């Protein structure tokens, strides 16, 4: 079972939302299917299917882990036209995420990024903010080790399994950050980061966005929410945000206004962010995503101008 959130205050904030302050890691990912070789070691009875870096293939992950699950599978996409999985649009999405996560548009420089940002999730690292305390960093290093046994991070697997679900660095310090940066120079590790990002965050966001009738912007908004919050049953998860949005507005697939629905989703996203001190700055929504929604730029076409944490960014 996952840890039970600390409830510091409970008060109705509106007709739908209940305020619950969460002080422990709540972002949890679906466990990555393992190859038969790893199954012998880890006793996991699933097969892995490699995911390409740029792919229009979506992934359905229905297995549960400690009560948390992947973004739900959806019917074939209802939205027409290019999606966020278009290579150009995907690059734009990664630059937008990097501006919020790393204060840089150079997302490809983030493979080597690693630090403890004090959010209760241990080390945060790589192009999708993989965390030692939430399971996805463990999955990544397991995948990398399957593909390249004896890599610089393989020896940390026992420690990563022990610290999963906590902010502990036990067994990782002092050399784990150094070895992570070393591994980032390996193309196989960078590919593993891309594949795990796509499996856990990107592909489910695109799949669900298309099924809801959303254009590229809406798919990106889903992707950014999954990167920060993950999915699960808790009130700050992606699925919870989506349920709250659908309670207030119809999705385009239901015949609703795309602008109205996206604003309803962003309302629920802002509420979720404010439940955690580390995410109380909502500028990645207020002065970035809402700007694009107000402009009606549902195809996420350039040029784009936005602000995050007071810093200005522009893409031509």
Annotated active-site positions, please? 101, 119
3-state helix, strand, coil in the chain (%, to 5): 45, 10, 50
d(CA 9, CA 16): 16
What the block records as the tokens of 129 is 């903010």
Taking the C-alpha atoms of 129, 222, 274 and 236 in order, what is their torsion angle to the nearest 10 degrees?
-90
Asked if 245 and 267 touch (Cβ cutoff 8 Å), the reply is yes
Question: How many residues are present in the chain?
Answer: 316
Structure-block tokens of residue 241? 């945000």
Strands (E), 14-74: 64-65, 68-69
- The answer, yes or no, to whether the previous bond of 207 is cis (omega within 30 of 0) is no
Count of alpha carbons within 13 Å of 70, Cβ hemisphere only?
26
| C-alpha torsion sign, points 276, 125, 311, 303 | negative
Task: Give the strand pairing for 130-131 and 123-125.
Answer: antiparallel
For 124, list phi and psi in degrees, rounded to 5.
Answer: -115, 135
Q: Phi first, then psi: what are they for 308, rounded to 5°?
A: -140, 130
The tokens for 105 are 């548009």
Q: Is 188 helix (H, G, I), strand (E, B) or coil?
A: helix
Residues 6+ apart with CB under 8 A from 104: 98, 110
């Amino acid at each position: 079972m996952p840890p039970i959130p600390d409830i510091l205050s409970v008060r109705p904030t509106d007709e739908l939302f209940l305020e619950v302050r969460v002080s422990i890691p709540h972002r949890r990912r679906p466990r990555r299917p393992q190859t038969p070789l790893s199954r012998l070691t880890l006793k996991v009875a699933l097969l892995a299917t490699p995911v390409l870096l740029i792919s229009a293939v979506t992934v359905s992950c229905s297995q549960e882990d400690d009560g948390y699950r992947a973004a739900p599978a959806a019917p074939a996409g209802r939205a027409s036209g290019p999606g966020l999985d278009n290579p150009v649009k995907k690059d734009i999405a990664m630059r937008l995420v990097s501006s919020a996560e790393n204060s840089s548009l150079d997302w490809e420089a983030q493979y080597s990024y690693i630090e403890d940002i004090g959010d209760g999730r241990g080390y945060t690292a790589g192009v999708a903010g993989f965390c030692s305390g939430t399971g996805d960093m463990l999955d990544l290093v397991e995948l990398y080790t399957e593909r390249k046994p004896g890599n610089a991070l393989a020896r940390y697997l026992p420690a990563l399994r022990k610290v999963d679900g906590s902010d502990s660095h036990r067994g990782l310090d002092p050399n784990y950050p150094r070895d992570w940066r070393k591994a980032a120079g390996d193309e196989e590790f960078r590919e593993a980061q891309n594949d795990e990002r796509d499996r856990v965050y990107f592909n489910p966001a695109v799949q669900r966005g298309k099924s809801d009738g959303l254009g590229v912007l809406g798919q990106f908004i889903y992707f950014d929410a999954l990167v920060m919050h993950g999915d699960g049953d808790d009130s700050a998860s992606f699925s919870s945000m989506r349920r709250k949005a659908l309670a207030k507005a119809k999705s385009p697939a239901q015949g609703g206004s795309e602008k109205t629905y996206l604003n309803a989703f962003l309302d629920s996203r802002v509420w979720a962010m404010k439940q955690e001190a580390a995410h109380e700055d909502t500028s990645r929504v207020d002065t970035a995503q809402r700007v694009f929604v107000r402009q009606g730029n549902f195809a996420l076409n350039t040029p784009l101008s936005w602000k995050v944490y007071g810093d200005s960014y522009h893409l031509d």
